[in-house]
């Protein structure tokens, strides 16, 4: 069975974007600033996570096709290849940044101008893409990417506006969770030949599950602190077998493998 048939990419299907938008959480804010779940809320957490505070991850971006991303440069968003439809001019994507609440009046919204999908992407591995914005977002920090494998282990942070449970709706408020690194042999046992060790990295709680990214989180960053205590991106949310299942970790694009190619592509987009 192919990976596409058995394992799910973690983006919202393009045909379901309108439905996903309708299912955004609209609960009122509680005393601590956390939204109170509405009757249609599948849960109050990103799978196993908690709400992110305003300004906690200022590099986070929500993309209108139902994916996440991070500011790679002030005018470029790094996301997943499976979130976009090829390379070229594209003005159909809206990037929302600067807020945890997607309905906030303070949200920064910028249209796309171009998209560059990873060269050679065919649905397996190489799951990265860049989106050029119509104007730079100069008042928010970018998220540096790791250029080698020194940070490809430990505990990682993931964040996004995706479903809080497998099959759930998209979220209005940004959520975060911590997921531990899963080594290559363990991930290979979980996914067999579908997992590409040199291009992908796995994270999750193998024994119990319960903490994971899910549909709508695709393209968002997986990151951790570097040796100087600053955030650095090590992964891009890509795929998995369901969401937060025991023995089935999340699979992320291994950014260290593609750091040079991403930098080259970003330079091309600016020409």
Write down the pTM of the prediction: 0.88
- Contact by Cβ (8 Å): 240, 250: yes
Among the listed residues 11, 23, 112, 218, the single catalytic one is 218
Among the listed residues 75, 101, 127, 152, the single catalytic one is 127
Fold type of domain 149-256 = Thrombin, subunit H (2.40.10)
Q: What is the pLDDT of residue 7?
A: 74
Q: CA-to-CA distance for 95 and 63, rounded, in angstroms? A: 5
Among the listed residues 82, 152, 217, 238, the single catalytic one is 82
**Is 38 tagged catalytic?**
no
Q: In this model, does residue 41 exceed pLDDT 90? A: no
- Contact by Cβ (8 Å): 48, 168: no
Q: What is the pLDDT of residues 49-98, one digit of tens each?
A: 999 999 999 999 999 999 999 999 999 999 999 999 999 999 999 999 99
**Is 212 tagged catalytic?**
no
**Is 218 tagged catalytic?**
yes
Q: What is the pLDDT of residue 46?
A: 61
Q: What is the pLDDT of residue 9?
A: 84
> pLDDT-derived band of residue 32, with 50, 70 and 90 as boundaries?
very low
Q: What is the pLDDT of residues 175-188, one digit of tens each?
A: 999 999 999 999 99
């Amino acid at each position: 069975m192919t990976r596409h048939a058995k394992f799910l990419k973690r983006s919202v299907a393009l045909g379901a974007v309108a439905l996903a938008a309708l299912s955004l959480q609209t609960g009122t804010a509680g005393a601590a600033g956390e939204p109170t779940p509405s009757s249609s809320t599948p849960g109050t957490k990103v799978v196993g996570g908690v709400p992110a505070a305003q300004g906690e991850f200022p590099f986070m971006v929500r993309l209108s096709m139902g994916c996440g991303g991070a500011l790679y440069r002030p005018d470029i968003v790094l996301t997943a290849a499976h979130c976009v439809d090829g390379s070229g001019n594209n003005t159909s994507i809206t990037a929302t940044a600067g807020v945890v609440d997607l309905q906030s009046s303070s949200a920064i919204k910028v249209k796309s101008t171009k998209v560059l999908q990873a060269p050679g992407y065919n649905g397996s591995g190489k799951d990265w893409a860049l989106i050029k914005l119509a104007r730079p977002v100069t008042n928010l920090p970018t998220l540096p990417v790791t250029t080698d494998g020194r940070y490809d282990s430990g505990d990682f942070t993931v964040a996004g506006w995706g479903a809080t449970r497998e099959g759930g709706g998209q979220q209005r408020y940004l959520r975060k969770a911590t997921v531990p690194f899963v080594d290559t042999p363990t991930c290979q046992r979980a996914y067999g030949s579908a997992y590409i060790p040199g291009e992908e990295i796995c994270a999750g709680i193998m024994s119990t599950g319960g903490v994971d990214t899910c549909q709508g989180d695709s393209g968002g960053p997986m990151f951790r602190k570097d040796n100087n205590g600053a955030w650095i991106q090590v992964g891009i949310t890509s795929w998995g077998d369901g969401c937060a299942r025991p023995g089935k970790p999340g699979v992320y694009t291994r950014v260290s493998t593609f750091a040079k190619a991403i930098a080259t592509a970003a330079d091309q987009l600016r020409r």
